[in-house]
Amino acid sequence: MSLSLNKHPTFTGRKGPVVIVIADGVGVAPAGPGNAVSEASTPMLDALTELPLYTELRAHGTAVGLPSDDDMGNSEVGHNAIGAGRIFAQGAKLVNHALDSGAIFNTPVWQRAIERGSANTLHFMGLHSDGNVHSHIQHLHQLMNKAAEQGIRNACLHLLLDGRDVAARSALTYIEQTESLIETINGRYSANFRIASGGGRMEITMDRYEADWEMVKRGYECHTHGIGQGFESATQAIKALYASSEKDDQYLPAFVIEQDGAPVGKMHDGDAVVFFNFRGDRAIEISLAYEREEFDKFNRNEKRHHPQVFYAGMLQYDGDELIPAHYLVNPPVIDRTMGEYLCSEGVRSFAISETQKYGHVTYFWNGNRSGYIDQSLETYVQIPSDNIEFNLAPEMKAHEITDHAIQMIESGAYQFGRLNLANGDMVGHTGDLQAAIKAMQVVDECVAKLVAAIKRCEGVLIFTADHGNADIMFTEKDGIRTVKTSHTLSPVPFAILDSGYDNEYRLVAPHDAGLTHIAATALNLLGFEAPQDYQPSLLNFD
């Protein structure tokens, strides 16, 4: 389908580019000692909030396509929403419907997994919490119950500990719930369901954007070959790992459950594996490791023969690259993104971030589409992230991203740009308040440089975020302080710094304005009318 935009009837845009700066994980919450955003010295960000063109946007729940307003937003759905300009039902909502309706169990993929698992072993693998960002424990439990009901008697669970989208040391709460269900299933069906392996999500398995294949290798060898520190139970493993260090769940090392000195859950030829995460970014690499015949990222046969298993994802995590080939629930179909419209109009643009968020300003921004829309018009730049715990270097790659962006702004070659500064989110997830404060000060320094460049080039800077995180670093109840490493339900800032502003328009945000309103707003600032079915622009030109 050929796409086109109408020129705006009264506003032709500015001489310089329109650039959207996404300060990842920077929400708007009440000031206080646990708010790294308000505790940091951020004169530039403070100045943006004082502009006449400032408001706050919803970045969680139904505003970004999640099931309820109790659901935290995340970077993936946030960038989907900004780039698409409309609300699409997202992973958790799609999976909920498929499970509640039973449709998921009528798919050929589920039936094949049951067939393989009945003859051999069915393995469930994924993030084990109710964070509802990558997965939900209730999805796992529904799959387990149905598998047992349909004849599975031998099942292994490979559980990735969260501590990031939920409380930092909450793994035992979820293990207790799953062990209780295992006991019920085994008693009712004379089955052998069991936890076989695990480890922290930032230590094994769940790498993204090829930042650390060694992390994926550790997870693959743990889940597949039973390589890891041995324990008699998952509860024992977590308690022992807690006692041996101060690490939170997300950073705990790989462990395996053993009986008589041998792992209880190695994978073998003919087994079936279901990865129950619904979010794509941290599911792609481990999916490749299991299902691709040609694979050169690490030696899968180094410890033991790589088994031929039937592998399926909860969703297809990359629709362009078809990863994985087999999946249980169809992902959202996001069409006619802002990027597609701009390419159709011949607008030259750039996207830039470091590895940790590169896919967000490209793949997710473009509606879960890999690669360029039109390489002749677009330039994508990825700055390699460091493979460290980000509180150790809270500046991350913000300065490098900023320098590259300024070069593009000042080149005069681009009319539109977008960049992501990952600091507020990635450092916020570590739970280190002082590091998060430092991260916010770095973001402020970089935004100040970007503002200066935009002014020099007579352009427009839009400052916003995709969700909250650094704005609430701990909670306090009855005098007890609890570190918070998850996202928040906070709104996010939205400010327009227009170097040529002369009251041609006003910022008029409806009470329920969310991230999906940004696309139409940016198109207006570029001199176009937005597509009729996009969420309305936040600008009034009357």
Active site residues: 75
> Per the structure block, which two tokens stand in for 426?
């990635």
- Write phi, then psi, for 106 (nearest 5 degrees): -100, 0
**DSSP3 helix / strand / coil % (the chain, rounded to 5):** 35, 20, 45
- Strand 416-421 and strand 474-477: the pairing is unpaired
- Is residue 403 within 8 Å of 369, Cβ to Cβ? no
> Per the structure block, which two tokens stand in for 264?
């209880």
- Write phi, then psi, for 465 (nearest 5 degrees): -145, 170
Task: Determine the Cα–Cα distance for residues 277 and 331; give it in Å rounded to an integer.
Answer: 12
- Cross-strand partners of 262: 259
> 465, 519, 511: which is closest to 490 by C-alpha?
465
Task: Determine the Cα–Cα distance for residues 72 and 68; give it in Å rounded to an integer.
Answer: 9
Task: Determine the Cα–Cα distance for residues 490 and 441; give it in Å rounded to an integer.
Answer: 20
- Write phi, then psi, for 187 (nearest 5 degrees): -70, -40
> Per the structure block, which two tokens stand in for 135?
């997965």
Instruction: Give the CA-trace dihedral at 447, 452, 454, 460, to 10 degrees.
Output: 60
> 178, 188, 194: which is closest to 129 by C-alpha?
178
Omega of the bond leading into 384 within 30 degrees of 0 (cis):
no
Task: Spell out where 33-150 has E strands.
Answer: 54-57, 122-127
- Is residue 313 within 8 Å of 348, Cβ to Cβ? no
Task: Determine the Cα–Cα distance for residues 316 and 264; give it in Å rounded to an integer.
Answer: 29
Task: Determine the Cα–Cα distance for residues 187 and 173; give it in Å rounded to an integer.
Answer: 22
Cα–Cα distance list, 243 to 224, 240, 281, 325, 481 (Å) = 27, 5, 32, 41, 20
| 148 sits in which H/E element | helix 137-149
Exposure of 90 in the CB half-sphere (CA atoms within 13 A): 33
Exposure of 407 in the CB half-sphere (CA atoms within 13 A): 10
Query: How many beta carbons lie within 10 A of that of residue 516, not counting itself?
Result: 24
516, amino acid identity: T
Site of tokens 């180094």: 302
